[in-house]
Structure 1
Amino acid sequence: MALIAVKVDAQELVVNSPSEKTIVYTDKSTTLAMVNTSNYKQTGNDAERSKSFSKSFSVDNNDKINLNNQFGSILIKTWDKREVRVDVDIKAYSNSDNDVQKLIDGVSIDATKNGDVVTFRTNMGDRNGRYGRGVKNGVTTWRREVKVNYVVFMPAVNPLTVSQEYGNVELGNFSGPTSLKVEYGNLVAGNLSNINNYINVQYGKCDIQDLNAAVVKHEYNGPVTIGAVGTLQLDAEYVAVNINTIRKSADIKIQYGKGLTVGTIGGNLLLNAEYAKVNINTVKGNTVVKQAYGDLNIASAGKIAVNAEYSNVTLGTLNGDANINMDYNRLSVNEITPACRNFTFGGEYVSVGLGFADRYNANFNVSTSYAGFKYGSNVTSTTVSKDDETKKYSGKIGSGGTANVSVKTEYGSVTFK
């Protein structure tokens, strides 16, 4: 490829060489160097053709950059110039010389600036027949495909929209708003410090170091790995999600897959989980959880409300009020601290085990139907009423006081430790 900088008054300059044709266009705001190579390369039984494209636009901080590519990759590098430049390397592969030429000829790049919008778009030609490659016993038996790889140089502040199909996207630290969509490929990003980030990945991995605030949607494959995020809205299906730190609040929906693992949540958590295991170390704010067919484990929680079905719920330290409703399986709270002034549980077919801090003092009421009630030495209990089906108990935990613990359950068991 030849990328040539020239100063001419004409709109087009043609430079010929024995192996390539270079066309250089100039106007007030753009420079384009497009090299249509006739380079031919035979790799094993495959024929290969390649060509390159490069174009740049001058931009200000408000100009929006749109990138739309398929069958390749997008690598975004930031610089201090008030300019966006895209270099594209295009390669085609086929078992047939004629076919590989048709494939490479069918690929073009549209590059435009309309108002405040700069767009680079890959157009693919007719790809009738099989497309991709076949492998048998580790050996490629046929190959018919195109690779279109973008390298983008742009300021870090401009609004950026990316759509990539069948390939990866890589982006370093970036301060402008982003909308990043990747299908059948992976997304890797550094620190996305804007308050507006939209991430959509399907059939790939997502690895982001830091997000100020983001909406993240991910389906299939994975995992989703986020080092830290300020405010998060997440919708994930059939993937594993791993987040070290959520500095503020999060609204998370996760279904199927290998589940959710979070270190610390500094604010509130709204969680809806189905068929997925959840492990969270600390939630400092309020927590509202709907959980079905998957275990919930929170090592340290503040105020919490849980509605669970067919799930084991385990809370380590409870530092706030709790309202828990469950059907089936087990509830275990290791330590309820004096910060919990009201604890309410209602459920069916649940084994309930509650542990209390040494300094915890509260009154309690327990109602059981076809369920036993056991308690330790720090609990004093009186049977208020009983029949063959239902038994009611009241008493004190520690010395009693203004805090209240209320448990109503059918079947299962209740234990105060």
Structure 2
Amino acid sequence: MRKSVYDLKKPLLVMSVFAMFACSLCGFTMAGEFTKTIKREFDISANGTTYLSNKYGKIEVKTWDKNRVKIAVTIVVKEGSEEDAQKVFNAISVNFSNGADYVKAETAIEQIRRSWIWDDGKADYKINYEVYVPATINLQVDQRYGDVYLASVSGKTKLTVKYGNFKTESVGDGSNFELAYGNGSIDHAENAYVGLSYSKLTINEANDLSMNSAYSGLNASKLNSLTTTAKYDNYTLGTIKSLKATGMYSKFSATNAGAVNISGQYNSVAMSEISKSLDLDLNYGSCNVSFSKGLTNATIKANYTDVTMKVLPDLCCYQLDAAANYAGVRYPQAMNVTYEVQKPTSHVVKGHVGKSDAPVIKASVNYGG
């Protein structure tokens, strides 16, 4: 009898599991994609300003030959039904305003309320801007959690991107860039300011650049001048005429540099060619530099820093004034040594190669190599 009772319960158990599985299927709905597009056009002066503010999507700014701003905002929602998608659409709006010399579009998102039982409170949507502006316009763009593309404009650009990437072509004088947690690319800039945080920036060409960066990287092919404050950064430069940097735990390298001025702690400096001047004040770091024709002067003050200096063949005349404590000084055999004192813990050397009134390379090293 016990065996027959056991057999009767087993089908019931299987049936109850099947019923639970069937109920779970009833609550599952395949997500579909729904779109809504908002379009506006506004007249604007040729040198006016367009303001764009968005999040959770992308912004593309293109140029045309009209003194008008055309904005198309496409909202893309993935939901289980059109009714649920409409609730998301109802929560998202774009606020427009304009005047003779400005156009403004700003995304506004309210709390999205839905009633279905399996809702986790998160809607899957994107808000994408496609904007046409005059090529002479000023731009002010603020983007969160999305990417930005800007075509060439001759006006001033102010761009802020957080948790996204950006790419710009040419921007006008006095532009401003702020990037956090993303990658950026600038093809050409005149005088500009850049703020970087946990980001990487690539610049093809810029005139005068000022920066403030942390935990970031800069890769620039051609710069006229760069003034920067860096923390935990990596600066890789091609050709630069003037570099002035204050850094901590940062790396600075250049292929061809004119005037270089770097100070700070725990920095690494590597300059393949310096053709004008060098002023270094380093603590707990490393220095590897080469001097070429055109050098006017070089001064290195280094504590607990390994220093390597090279003179390229085209710099035929120079003077050396080097003093080292708990470090050594090595110089070429061709040097005309005018003064040298070597002790167990110090080494001082003065001399010249070529003319005695040549540019001076002066180094003071304590506890280095």
1:130-182 alpha-carbon deviations (Å, 9 max, x no partner): xxxxxxxxxxx996222111110111112111111111111111111111111
Contact kept in structure 2, 1:184 and 1:204, CA below 8 Å:
yes
Q: Alignment length, in residue pairs?
A: 334
Structure 2 residue 246 is matched with structure 1 residue 262: no
Verify the 8 A CA contact 1:336 1:360 in the aligned structure 2.
Answer: no
Deviation of 1:189 (Å) = 1.1
SS at match of 1:102: helix
Superposition RMSD on alpha carbons, in Å?
2.9
CA distance in 2, matches of 1:407, 1:117: 56
CA gap 1:44/1:154 in 2 versus in 1, 3 angstroms: farther
Tell me the CA shift for residue 336 of structure 1. Answer: 6.6
- 1:79 pairs, out of 34, 42, 64, with 64
Quote the Cα distance in structure 2 between the aligned partners of 1:182 and 1:383: 57
Take 1:312 and 1:384, find their aligned partners in 2: how far apart are those partners?
25
Pair 1:313 & 2:268 matched: no
TM-score, normalised via structure 2 length: 0.80
Alpha-carbon deviation of 1:376? 3.9
Matches within 5 A, 1:277-288: 277-284=251-258, 286-288=259-261
Question: Are positions 1:335 and 2:311 aligned together?
Answer: yes
- Residues in 2 aligned to 1:410 and 1:196: alpha-carbon distance in whole angstroms: 42
* Secondary structure of the corresponding residue to residue 104 of structure 1: helix
Q: Who is 1:238 aligned against?
A: 215
Whole-angstrom CA distance in 1 between matches of 2:205 and 2:312: 29
Deviation (angstroms), 1:263? 0.7
How high is the sequence identity, in percent, across the aligned residues? 23
Once residues 165 and 122 of structure 1 are traced to their aligned partners in structure 2, the CA distance between those partners, rounded to angstroms, is 11
**Counterpart among 389, 394, 397 of residue 352 in structure 2:** 397
Amino acid paired to 2:357: T
Q: Give yes or no for the alignment of 1:225 onto 2:202.
A: yes
Conservation of the 8 A alpha-carbon contact between 1:383 and 1:391: no
Q: 2:177 aligns with which of 169, 176, 199?
A: 199
Give CA deviations for 1:94-134 in whole Å, capped at 9, x if unaligned: 457654332211111111114532111111111479xxxxx
Which of 1 and 2 has higher RCO (CA within 8 Å, sep 6+)?
2
1:277-333 CA-partner distances (Å, limit 9, x unpaired): 22111123x221124323211112111111112221111224220111111131111
**Cα distance, 1:399 vs structure 2:** 5.9
Point out the more displaced range, 305-314 or 366-375. 366-375
Structure 1 residues 328, 336: closer, same or farther in 2, change over 3 A? farther
Q: Following the alignment from structure 1 to structure 2, what is the Cα–Cα distance between the partners of residues 307 and 128? A: 59
Give 1:250 shift: 1.5
Q: For residue 88 of structure 1, what is the aligned residue in structure 2?
A: 73
> What's the TM-score, normalizing by structure 1?
0.72
- Checking the alignment, whether the CA contact within 8 Å between 1:367 and 1:391 is kept in structure 2 is yes
2:134 equivalent to 1:155? yes
Q: Does 1:378 align with 2:334?
A: yes
The runs of 5 or more residues in structure 1 that have no matched partner are 1-42, 130-140, 339-356
2:42 pairs with one of 43, 57, 61: 57
Higher share in strand: 1
Aligned to 2:24: none
The structure-2 alpha-carbon separation of the partners of 1:50 and 1:368, relative to structure 1 and needing over 3 Å to count, comes to closer
Q: Label 1:331 to 1:106 Cα distance change in 2 as closer, same or farther (>3 A).
A: same
Alpha-carbon distance in 2 for matches of 1:205, 1:148: 20
- For residues 236 and 127 of structure 1, do their structure 2 counterparts lie closer, same or farther at Cα, with a shift above 3 Å needed? farther
Aligned counterpart for 1:297 among listed residues 263, 270, 274 = 270
Question: Using a 3 Å threshold, how does the CA distance of structure 1 residues 272 and 297 change in structure 2: closer, same or farther?
Answer: same
For the Cα contact (< 8 Å) 2:302–2:364, is it kept in 1? no
